[in-house]
């Protein structure tokens, strides 16, 4: 990261927005990440991304193998602008990547035998997987999951809309995490990188402005 360019670009962003960046960064975490696998309805994916942004989840992993990679053109009312989006070629590569990074794989399932999401332990980094609306998560995720959680229900309906499930689970888990003594906050380097990314995303024609500054600095 070019620190001189960073300081220069800050001048194009209002003080109130810069302050808002700092407020949001204090609540962001990489202790928990979210993976969405083959969500068919775009509005469900959009709602999940908005929940991630709202509850402080920075990293979202996208697995689209069945529905033609549609998220590039229709996504989430700008929520993706503030998130770190990771797209994977396959479920297997995503799982391998996350496990290499030290995440336990937590599969969300509509199964009474699974652990209630309220009982989940947060002492280890976790990747929460949400699957397609009708058939749920793929066999690949189910086979490699370290843990299964569900939202207990008492009515005739056994499963909730996937975006509703994500919002309920993320709100509870992130609140529980922030009340714990776990070191869940972003590292300072992560914060600095995100500041730079968010500043660039806030400036119209930022590439031209950056190129002009860098050329004048030579």
Q: What is the pLDDT along the chain (218 residues), one digit of tens a residue?
A: 789 999 999 999 999 999 999 999 999 999 999 999 876 667 788 889 999 999 999 999 988 765 555 554 454 456 788 999 998 888 999 999 999 999 999 999 988 889 999 999 999 999 999 988 667 899 999 999 999 999 998 888 777 888 999 999 999 999 999 999 999 999 999 999 999 999 999 999 999 999 999 998 87
CATH number at residue 55: 3.40.1280.10
Number of structural domains (the chain) is 2
110 in the same domain as 44? yes
201 in the same domain as 144? no
13 in the same domain as 119? no
143 in the same domain as 212? no
Residues spanned by the domain of 9: 1-26+188-218
210 in the same domain as 142? no
- pTM of the predicted model as reported, rounded to 2 decimal places: 0.90
99 in the same domain as 7? no
44 in the same domain as 21? no
167 in the same domain as 138? yes
79 in the same domain as 55? yes
Following DSSP, what letter does each residue of 75-143 receive, concatenated?
-STTGGGGSEEEE-S-HHHHHHHHHHTTPEEEEE---TTSEEGGG---SS-EEEEE-BTTTBS-HHHHH
CA contacts within 13 A on the Cβ side of 169: 34
pLDDT at 73: 42
């Amino acid at each position: 990261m070019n620190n001189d360019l960073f300081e220069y670009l800050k001048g194009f962003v209002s003080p109130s927005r810069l302050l808002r960046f700092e407020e949001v960064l204090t609540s962001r975490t990489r202790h928990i990440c979210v993976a969405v696998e083959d969500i068919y309805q775009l509005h469900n994916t959009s709602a999940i991304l908005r929940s991630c942004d709202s509850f402080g989840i920075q990293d979202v992993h996208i697995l689209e193998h069945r529905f033609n990679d549609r998220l590039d053109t229709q996504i989430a009312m700008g929520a993706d602008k503030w998130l770190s989006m990771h797209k994977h070629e396959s479920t297997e590569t995503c799982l391998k990547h996350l496990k290499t990074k030290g995440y336990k794989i937590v599969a969300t399932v509509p199964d009474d035998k699974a652990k209630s999401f309220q009982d989940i332990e947060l002492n280890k980094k976790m990747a929460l997987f949400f699957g397609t609306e009708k058939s749920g998560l793929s066999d690949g995720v189910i086979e490699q999951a370290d843990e299964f959680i569900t939202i207990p229900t008492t009515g005739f309906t056994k499963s909730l809309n996937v975006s509703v499930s994500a919002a309920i689970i993320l709100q509870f888990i992130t609140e529980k995490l922030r009340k714990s003594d776990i070191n869940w906050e972003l590292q300072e380097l992560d914060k600095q990188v995100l500041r730079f990314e968010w500043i660039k995303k806030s400036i119209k024609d930022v590439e031209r402005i950056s190129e002009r500054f860098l050329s004048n600095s030579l």
